[in-house]
Amino acid sequence: MAVDDQRAERAVQKILAGTMKALSRQGANKLSVSDICESSQIARGTFYRYFNSKEEALAALGQHFEDGVAAAFRAAIEANPAPEARVQVVLDTIIAYRAAGGDWNQMLDVAPEFTLEFIRDTFPKLVDVVTDALGPAAEESPLVTSGALTKRQLGDLFMRSLTSMLFLPGSRSEDVPALVASLFKVDTSDTAAKPQRRRSARARAKAS
């Protein structure tokens, strides 16, 4: 990518990140180009170099969000590629990305129609991104190996559970990551008991 292209891409990403933050404060109807520029810390001329209107910027938010999540996953997995850490890496990345973006709960309050439509439009792609990021953790999940769920169905369940934490905070919302992680844990208690039972049976047989 040429230097000018890189500069333009960074500017667009900065504007869209500012749009997300401004949206969580103002709502879609009250949002203005001035709000976006103030949140993005750019001049109006810079905004109009890349977007013709606030509506055009709002329409680009979905792809911006999807690309941002995917890039965050790639960086986090590169930093910690261990398969056994994958679920925690994905969880930590989503939580950190959420904290760095706009206030989703506030956004739902001030722009409910836009936010719900945004979730509906981006959710399928986010499920694909999360399923791909989970990689070996999804493949080895007992729910997948048993045939109860496909990898994508598991990714869908993973995202739906986390969405409840993002948009429906409550006294138990902090428990959601642990509950989600439990979807990938193998219960070894039964398999550990089986060899013990076999040894006990052999011992009884010898004694008789």
Q: Which two tokens stand for residue 168?
A: 């429906």
Residue 166: pLDDT band by 50, 70, 90 thresholds? low
- Other beta carbons within 10 Å of 3: 7
Residue 186: pLDDT band by 50, 70, 90 thresholds? low
Are the C-beta atoms of residues 137 and 87 closer than 8 Å to each other?
A: yes
**Lowest mean per-residue pLDDT among 106-110, 115-119, 172-176:** 172-176
**Lowest mean per-residue pLDDT among 1-5, 61-65, 104-108, 188-192:** 188-192
Contacts of 37 (CB under 8 A, 6+ apart): 18, 43, 44, 46, 47
Q: What is the pLDDT at residue 53?
A: 96
Which range among 62-71, 97-106, 111-120, 131-140 has the greatest average pLDDT? 131-140
Residue 115 has pLDDT above 80, yes or no: yes
Are the C-beta atoms of residues 126 and 69 closer than 8 Å to each other?
A: yes
Q: What is the pLDDT at residue 198?
A: 46
Are the C-beta atoms of residues 115 and 107 closer than 8 Å to each other?
A: yes
Top pLDDT among 92 and 203 is at 92
